[in-house]
């Protein structure tokens, strides 16, 4: 690898470690708060954070074999499909639990802790996603771009979940929590389908080179 590409890989690994650390905290707090409050939106968001950990792990795998072009191709495709399958499973779970809560009128308790972690995620995740997207573009990697998109998705979901949990906590609109969770389902499912249908980035870019490397070889 060139010095520039080595630096990009190092930066990508550092950003992924930050994401893994924050997602681990996010998952533990969200799931615990969701279980205590009976909040589908919080539990769904917490499980999404666990899947984000899987995505970041796959991105770490991809970055660590960057100098092996043959393995890059296989890892790109496999990483995307693993993440896609996880998201489809999450979409099914959130849809079922949300509908069951609405039909059974099982009102969740209020959760100040949930509001805090969701608010923090709405700030932190867009910053991480933007930085990861720059690295992914420079390395011309669809798997890393997908990982950055998953981080952006986490930010979107935090805002949606915050609306539901916040309304329930502030004014007692219990139905806002499962409705917010249902609003997450199409977004989660779309990412899952795109992951399952993933094709290797090498089909479009045979050598998977960063733009600077391609220019140098021209």
pLDDT tens digits, the chain, 218 residues: what are they?
Answer: 555 878 888 888 888 889 899 999 999 999 999 999 988 888 888 988 888 887 778 777 777 776 667 676 777 778 778 778 878 888 888 888 888 888 888 778 888 999 999 999 999 999 999 998 898 888 877 767 877 887 888 888 888 888 888 888 888 888 888 888 888 889 888 888 887 886 543 344 444 444 444 444 44
The domains of the chain, with CATH numbers, are 3-210 (1.20.1510)
CA neighbours within 13 Å on the CB side: how many for 103? 6
Cα 49 to Cα 55: distance, rounded to the nearest angstrom: 10
Nearest alpha carbon to residue 31 among 44, 14, 13: 44
pLDDT of residue 122: 92
Cα 107 to Cα 105: distance, rounded to the nearest angstrom: 6
In terms of phi and psi (left: phi > 0; alpha: psi -120 to 50; beta: otherwise), the region of 208 is: left
Three-state secondary structure call for residue 38: coil
Output the six-digit token pair for 85.
């399958």
């Amino acid at each position: 690898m060139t010095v520039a590409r080595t630096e990009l890989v190092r930066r990508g690994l550092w950003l992924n470690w930050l994401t893994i650390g924050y997602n681990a905290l996010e998952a533990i707090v969200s799931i615990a708060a969701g279980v205590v409050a009976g909040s589908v939106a919080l539990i769904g968001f917490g499980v999404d954070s666990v899947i984000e950990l899987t995505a970041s792990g796959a991105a770490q795998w991809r970055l660590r074999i960057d100098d092996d072009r043959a393995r890059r191709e296989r890892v790109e495709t496999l990483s995307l499909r693993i993440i896609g399958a996880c998201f489809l499973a999450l979409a099914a779970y959130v849809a079922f639990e949300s509908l069951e809560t609405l039909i059974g009128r099982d009102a969740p308790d209020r959760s100040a802790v949930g509001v805090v972690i969701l608010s923090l995620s709405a700030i932190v995740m867009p910053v991480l996603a933007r930085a990861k997207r720059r690295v992914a573009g420079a390395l011309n990697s669809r798997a890393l771009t997908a990982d950055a998109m998953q981080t952006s998705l986490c930010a979107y979901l935090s805002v949606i979940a915050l609306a539901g949990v916040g309304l329930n906590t502030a004014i007692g609109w219990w139905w806002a929590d499962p409705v917010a969770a249902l609003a997450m389902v199409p977004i989660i499912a779309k990412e899952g389908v795109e992951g399952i249908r993933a094709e290797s980035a090498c089909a479009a870019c045979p050598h998977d080179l960063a733009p600077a490397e391609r220019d140098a070889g021209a």
